[in-house]
Structure 1
């Protein structure tokens, strides 16, 4: 199997896992630790398929994942994000270089605003009590799928 096919297959796997994360987050407001772990553990396979050298590229990817986890864990501690969302974002960060990760964060913020708006409107229209729980994993997943789509399209462009 050629390297291109393996890279595309791994990106398709990531897209499927992100779809599963979004669906479970919508249904139960929970993103499984196992799902996040599979996403994180598949990233090194993608690095190998891309031919990334261990130093400095793989080390940088690992640092990005840890850095994203640290920043967003602070937001979790402040009650601004769910724990599953933080772990999902950190796992996804392992897959993309810092330039693409910057785009992912911008897309995630925009999509997160839309998801929040839809969630709050739905919460109020259904006359539910309490505060609406926003399935932010949907925004993370959609932003990740956007980047995956770009990578696959540019692969053939």
Structure 2
């Protein structure tokens, strides 16, 4: 099939997984292990499809994922972050180039801040007393989709056309 690129299929699958993660986090306040596991397991297919070298490419992806897990697991231990969020971010670190992953984290924090403010106001307006639970998977997924749309899709189109 002319113009068919497995990268697009993998990126579309990742985008769908991110949307599912956001919706399940809104609905159930959890992100399923099978979903984050699937994202992580498919990362090597993406590396292969993009021609990522073992050294330093794959090694760097693993390094960033391990560092992300360490930082976010510490936040989980302090009860500042959910376990599903930690696993989703770690799985995304396997897919996203290190510099783009840092941008993803900044964008996630901005979206998460706005989400927290909006949900906090809603919580106060409804005079609810229970602890506020923020579905941070929405911020993570939104930032991930932003990275896919702003970096990977245009980059691949430039590679195909150019």
Q: Secondary structure at the match of 1:129?
A: coil
Aligned-pair CA distance for 1:4 = 6.6
Aligned-pair CA distance for 1:51 = 0.3
1:3 and 1:132 map into 2 onto residues whose CA distance is 48
Counterpart of 2:53 in structure 1 is 53
Structure 1 residues not aligned, in runs of 5+: none
Structure 1 residue 96 corresponds to structure 2 residue 96: yes
Q: 1:118 to 1:56 in 2, by over 3 A?
A: same
> Please, what TM-score do these two structures have when normalized by structure 1?
0.94
Q: After superposition, where does 1:112-123 map in structure 2 within 5 Å?
A: 112-123=112-123
Supply the RMSD in Å over aligned alpha carbons. Answer: 1.5
Q: Does the CA-based 8 Å contact 1:89-1:140 persist in structure 2?
A: yes
Structure 2 residues not aligned, in runs of 5+: none
Q: Does the CA-based 8 Å contact 1:3-1:49 persist in structure 2?
A: no
Q: Does the CA-based 8 Å contact 1:3-1:50 persist in structure 2?
A: no
Q: How many residues get paired?
A: 157
Once the two structures are superposed, what CA deviation does each residue of 1:47-76 show, in whole Å capped at 9, x if it has no partner?
Answer: 000001112211111111111011110011
Counterpart of 2:8 in structure 1 is 8
Counterpart of 2:144 in structure 1 is 144
Q: Secondary structure at the match of 1:80?
A: coil
Counterpart of 1:156 in structure 2 is 157
Aligned-pair CA distance for 1:153 = 2.7
Aligned-pair CA distance for 1:154 = 3.3
